[in-house]
Amino acid sequence: MPKLVLALASPTLDKLLSASVIMTGAAADDMEIEVFVLVNAGHAFKKGAKIAQMSDQTQTTDEFKAELARLNSPGWLEMFEMAKDLTDVTIHICSLAGKIAHAEKMEDFIDIVDDICGIGEYIESVQSADVNLFI
């Protein structure tokens, strides 16, 4: 089975949605997927987190969400869950991302998170990946 490794470093709505679209495409293609949540992206995976910003300010977050609703598009979290339902997806929170988000235990994160790891696991995973993306 081909393998996609996705490093997610940004907690902004546009980046989370981009990652989820790539993941569902890879899942539909029956790829194994490993997501490594790095740096500031840990905030998005904390229980109760609210995604309040966009990195590209051509639209406000509210305008972007309205456009997704108009298109009847699922949100990023729903798409992460869909990918997990379709194929083997593992979501790792790198320990530094957890510390930055003030969340260091599994119970601090939403249910789709599989584990907390060190950056060495990301480096090792990339070495066996067919595709490696950094968002």
pTM score, whole prediction: 0.91
14 vs 122: which has the higher pLDDT: 122
Looking at residue 99, its pLDDT comes to 96
- Band of residue 7 on the pLDDT scale cut at 50, 70, 90: very high
Answer whether residue 57 shows pLDDT above 80: no
Residue 128 · residue 71 · CB < 8 Å = no
Q: Kindly list the structural domains of the chain, giving each domain's residue range(s) and its CATH number in brackets, ordered by start.
A: 3-134 (3.40.1260.10)
Spell out the SS3 assignment of 15-65.
HHHHHHHHHHHHHHCCCEEEEEECHHHHHHHECCCCCCCCCCCCCCHHHHH
Instruction: At 39, list the tokens.
Output: 């740096």
- Band of residue 52 on the pLDDT scale cut at 50, 70, 90: low
pLDDT digits (tens, 9 = 90+) for 94-125: 999 999 999 999 999 999 999 999 999 999 99
Q: Average pLDDT for residues 66-91, to the nearest whole number?
A: 94
Q: What percent of the chain has pLDDT over 70?
A: 96
